[in-house]
Amino acid sequence: MAANPDFDNLLQEALDLPEEKQIYCNGFIVSMSPADTIIVLQQNNKIVASLNVSHTIAKTLAIQLASIVDNFEKGTKTKISTLDEVIKAVQDANAK
């Protein structure tokens, strides 16, 4: 997590946002230009939002997401499959 003394307050503020300001996604597309990174959030293959961030923020986000997933997997002694792994497993099962 980022070293932010207001982390708990910011998290609670985000959790308290009205429903129309909360976004759920179950897919995404990412792309990068020389200037920034775009993350397109999808829900059931429909775009629900796009997020443009600097390369620095994109890298920091990637590192922090990897860290919390790793901590979750270690703490629960489970492995979370990636979307690519799930798709391949379904394709392999359907091929039988």
pLDDT tens digits along 54-71: 999 999 999 999 999 999
Helices and strands (H and E) in the chain: how many: 3, 3
Handedness of CA 45, 48, 53, 57 (dihedral sign): negative
Average pLDDT, the chain: 94
Q: What is the pTM of this model?
A: 0.79
Contact 28, 41 (CB under 8 A): yes
What CA–CA distance (Å, rounded) separates 10 from 43? 25
Beta strands in the chain (DSSP E): 27-32, 37-43, 46-53
Q: Report the percentage of the chain scoring pLDDT > 90.
A: 92
The pLDDT of residue 41: 97
